[in-house]
Amino acid sequence: MNSNLIGKFSIGLWIVTVLTLGYFFYFGSTSRSLDDRTAIHLTPAERQLVLTEMRALLTSVNGILSGLAEKDYERAAKAADAVGMGLVASLENQEKTILLKLPVEFKKLGFGTHEKFDEIAAKIRKKQDIHTLLKEMDELTRNCVACHASYKIEIESEKNNSK
């Protein structure tokens, strides 16, 4: 009887743990901010990593456009490659704890954006028509606009100030 009770308690504890992890995987560490965006709460170091990555994305957009404007397709493709899924893989160890704090929609936007850079790099290397490439850049930057319109990154200690 005693081992049966311990077994039921263990299974219950396991279910609570899985549900808690599932909740954080889906919703992350978030709240509603004063400007009605979703505030994602990170440590100062995590926030710095995310913002550094966002600046790298913007730098790559500029590199792509600059390369295309000068008809330097290889430079444009390299700019796109710099922030594709290869960047995500290189940051995997640093981002493991951050991923639990990010809501699933933010993760989808982020991974989709990195994948889009890889797609654009491939199309640039094929020297596709400039209008096709501009359409791709439009789709890419829509992800940026959607993300910045929906989310903001706050330091965890700011969590109470945004409610």
Residue 67 lies in a domain: yes
Q: Where are the alpha helices (DSSP H) in the chain?
A: 2-27, 44-69, 73-81, 85-90, 92-101, 104-125, 130-150
Residue 75 lies in a domain: yes
What does the pLDDT look like over 86-104, one tens digit per residue? 998 888 777 777 888 889 9
Strand intervals (E) in 19-65: 30-32, 38-42
Q: How far apart are CA 59 and CA 117, in angstroms?
A: 12
Q: Note down the domain range covering 74.
A: 30-155
Residue 82 lies in a domain: yes
Residue 106 lies in a domain: yes
pLDDT of 7 above 90: no
- Give this prediction's pTM: 0.79
* Percent over 90 (pLDDT), the chain: 64
What total number of domains does the chain contain?
1
Residue 5 lies in a domain: no
